[in-house]
Amino acid sequence: MSSPTPLSPHAARSDSLGCSARSLGQSQELQGSEFSFYRKRVDGRELSQVQTPPSDRGFLVGISMAPQHRRSIFRGSQAARFDFGAGAVYTRDFSEEYRADLQGPFDFLLMELPLSWFHTASDELRAGQRRVTGLATVTGQSDPILAHLACALAPALAQARPQPDSLLFVDQLGVAIGTHLLRRYGGASAPSSQTVRLSRLHEERAKQMLLQKGRGNVSIPEIARECNMSASYFLRAFKASTGHTPHQWLLVQRVEMARHYLRQTELSLAEIALACDFCDQSHFSRVFTQVAGTPPGTWRRSQR
């Protein structure tokens, strides 16, 4: 097959992932505690291109959020063509040059995993397991689990200014995605099925750090390090101990605080939202309804 179509000087202006800035209809980025996340979309049917030189950035994983995408990936002068359905994924090693012709529209959610994370993750694997240094190369392979996690993550990238709660949620999803990638494409074995729990001391410390979340920038990896465990182990142990993920637990505590204000004070819903560290009244009402089963105004009237 022939070489890729030469890039014009205008199209050569590209972003950090090698996408032509001119052709992108959507370009969003969100920095988590350990990973970088992107949403890249092209609406037109014209040919677009991706090209990046080798680097030490680690690995990139892309999840197709839309059906019927096709790309030709070049190695030297040879190319292979791949079709992507919704939920199809690819992995890309930044240490290798990447060149691809993208035919028609596409919509991808992408996650960048730095090399430093692989070093840390390998150290946290069970004793006796081989060291994981990267991910196997896959292109166009269906991965329903990764597709589900990507759909859960997508709304956070759409926020113009992510709130602390969103970043905590992104941390949780990042750990879940990273763990899945290590098992499916890195050769890591699944964790023991034995139920793990936090000690009373670690549980109290984790809850204390979460309650301080509204006044700081604490992350899941930071809490896990405080408890002397990996982020993935901490998440499993926290949920086994409390019945909730850290993000869910924090929201439940804020709803309990809001119940006190609704019952004992005449503060408005907007004032209670602010006092309980919700983003705004709309966010407060939505979360309260999810947890309590009824809107806060209705709940207040029922108590009186």
pLDDT of residue 304: 76
Residue 260 lies in a domain: yes
Residues 257 and 290 in one domain: yes
CATH of the domain at 282: 1.10.10.60
Residues 146 and 35 in one domain: yes
Residue 9 lies in a domain: no
Residues 55 and 87 in one domain: yes
Structure-derived torsion over alpha carbons of residues 122, 126, 131, 132, reported in degrees to the nearest 10? -60
Express each pLDDT in 236-284 by its tens digit.
899 999 999 999 999 999 999 999 999 999 999 999 999 998 888 998 9
Boundary residue ending a domain (132, 155, 183): 183
Confidence class of residue 301 from pLDDT cuts 50, 70 and 90? very high
Residues 147 and 269 in one domain: no
Residues 50 and 170 in one domain: yes
Residues 46 and 149 in one domain: yes
pLDDT of residue 9: 42
239-192-166 Cα angle (round to 5): 35
Residues 111 and 53 in one domain: yes
Helices 296-303 and 281-292, packing angle to 10 deg: 60
- Mean pLDDT of the 133-152 span: 94
- How many domains would you assign to the chain? 3
Residue 234 lies in a domain: yes
Residues 137 and 274 in one domain: no
Structure-derived torsion over alpha carbons of residues 197, 202, 208, 209, reported in degrees to the nearest 10? -90
Q: Which domain, by its residues, includes 230?
A: 193-243
Q: Is the pLDDT of residue 163 over 50?
A: yes
Express each pLDDT in 88-105 by its tens digit.
999 999 999 999 999 888
Residues 56 and 149 in one domain: yes
Residue 132 lies in a domain: yes
Residues 56 and 179 in one domain: yes
CA-CA distance, 274 to 267, in Å (whole number)?
Answer: 11
CATH of the domain at 95: 2.60.120.280
Confidence class of residue 164 from pLDDT cuts 50, 70 and 90? low
Higher pLDDT residue, 190 or 301? Answer: 301
Q: State the SS3 of the chain.
A: CCCCCCCCCCCCCECCCCEECCCCCEEEEEECCCCEEEEEEECCCCCEEEEECCCCCCEEEEEECCCCEEEEEEECCEEEEEEECCCEEEEEECCCCEEEEEECCEEEEEEEECHHHHHHHHHHCCCCCCCCCCCCCCEEEECHHHHHHHHHHHHHHHCCCCCHHHHHHHHHHHHHHHHHHHHHHCCCCCCCCCCCCCCHHHHHHHHHHHHCHHHCCCCHHHHHHHCCCCHHHHHHHHHHHHCCCHHHHHHHHHHHHHHHHHHHCCCCHHHHHHHCCCCCHHHHHHHHHHHHCCCHHHHHHHHC
Residues 239 and 258 in one domain: no
Residues 236 and 260 in one domain: no
